[in-house]
Amino acid sequence: METLAPLIATAINASAPILLAALGLLVNERAGVLNLGAEGMMLIAAVAGFAVGIETGSVTAAMLAGALAGMAAAALFAFFTLVLVTNQVATGLALSILGGGLSAFIGQSYAGKSVVTSKWVLPGLSEIPFFGEAVFRQHVVVYLSFALAAFVAWFLFRTRAGLTLRAIGESPESAHELGYPVRWIRFAAVLFGGACCGVAGAYLSVIYTPLWVEGMVAGRGWIALALTTFATWRPGRVVLGALIFGTITIIGFHLQSVGVEVPSQFLAMLPYLATVIVLVLISRNPDWIRLNMPASLGKAFRPG
C-alpha cells in the first residue's frame, strides 16, 4: 500500500501534460482543424517556459510564457491553413519540424540548468490517508488540467458557442451559409489548442522533468493527438486515456525499481506501443469513428 500511493501520484503527474495537450487538440479538432504540429508547439513552449522560468524564477511566468509561445506557433499554423488554405497535414508536419529545430537552437544555452518549483498541497485533503498522498499533492497545473476537462465538456455540449464550434467541425460550408464566421472561430480554436499544448510543454520542462533536454517532449504531442481519436473526441474519455498513458509511462520505471529484469529501452517503448495498440483498437470499427469524428477534420475550407 505505501508504494501504491506515490505510484498513483506519479501516474497522475505524468498524465497531466498529455491530458492538457489532448484537451486543447480536441477543441482544435472539434472545429475541424487537425494540427499535427502539437509536438512542435510543445517543444517551443517547453523551451520558452524554461527560459522564462530560469530568468524570472517564477513558475507562473514560465507557464504564461509557455502558453504564449504555444499560441504564437499555433497562430503561424492558423495563418497558413486558414488564410493561405495550405494542407493541414503538411503544415502540421512543418510546424513539428520547425518546432524541433527552433527549440533545439534556443535551448542550447539552457541545457543542464534547472528550475526549482513547488507542489501545491491542498490543505486538509492532502492529509487524507492514502488519497491525500496519491491525489492531492500535485502541482497546481495538474489540478487545472483536470478542471479544464470538465470545462471543455461543459463548453462543447452545454453552450451555444460550443454547439457552433461543433457545427463548424461538422460542416464548415453549412456554417458559412448560415453566416457563421468559420475562419475566425477556427482561428480561436487553433489558438486554444496552442495555449493548451504550450502550458503542457512548459509543464514538462519546468515542473515535470525539470530540465531542458533537446527533443524532451518525446512524442507526447503525437500521443496527445492519438488520444483525441482514442477518446472519439470526448473530454471525459480523454481524461481516461491520459490516465492510462500516465500509468503506462511510470509503470516502466516502477518495474525497474522493484527489480524486474527488462532492458529499460523496452519499458520506454511502452507508451508508443500502447498508442499504436489503442489506435488499432479504436480504428477497427470505421462506423464508430465516422459517427464521432468531426466530419470536416483536416479538410481545408475557403469561403467562396
Residue numbers at the binding site for other proteins (CB under 8 A)? 36, 76, 80, 83-87, 89-91, 93-95, 97-102, 104-105, 108, 160, 163-164, 166-167, 170-171, 173-180, 214, 218-219, 222-223, 225-226, 229, 263, 265-266, 268-269, 272-273, 275-276, 279-280, 283-284, 286-287, 289-292, 295, 302, 304
Distance of CA 152 to the CA centre of its chain: 13
Strand partners, 137: 121
Tell me whether residue 61 or residue 255 sits nearer to other proteins (CB atom).
255
CA dist., res. 101 & res. 169, Å (int): 31
How near is the Cβ of 215 to other proteins at its closest, in Å?
10
How near is the Cβ of 268 to other proteins at its closest, in Å?
5
Cell of 76: 503561424
A 10 A CB-CB count for 100 gives 17
Tell me whether residue 229 or residue 247 sits nearer to other proteins (CB atom).
229
For residue 28, the one-letter residue type is N
Tell me whether residue 253 or residue 272 sits nearer to other proteins (CB atom).
272
Distance of CA 74 to the CA centre of its chain: 13
CA dist., res. 272 & res. 268, Å (int): 8
A 10 A CB-CB count for 144 gives 17
Find out whether 141 and 16 touch, Cβ atoms under 8 Å: yes
Cell of 297: 477534420
How near is the Cβ of 70 to other proteins at its closest, in Å?
16
Tell me whether residue 30 or residue 137 sits nearer to other proteins (CB atom).
30
Tell me whether residue 14 or residue 226 sits nearer to other proteins (CB atom).
226
Tell me whether residue 112 or residue 129 sits nearer to other proteins (CB atom).
112
CA dist., res. 158 & res. 133, Å (int): 34
CA dist., res. 262 & res. 239, Å (int): 29
How near is the Cβ of 156 to other proteins at its closest, in Å?
12
How near is the Cβ of 62 to other proteins at its closest, in Å?
22
Cell of 1: 500500500
Cell of 44: 517551443
How near is the Cβ of 6 to other proteins at its closest, in Å?
26
What DSSP designation does 81 have?
Answer: I
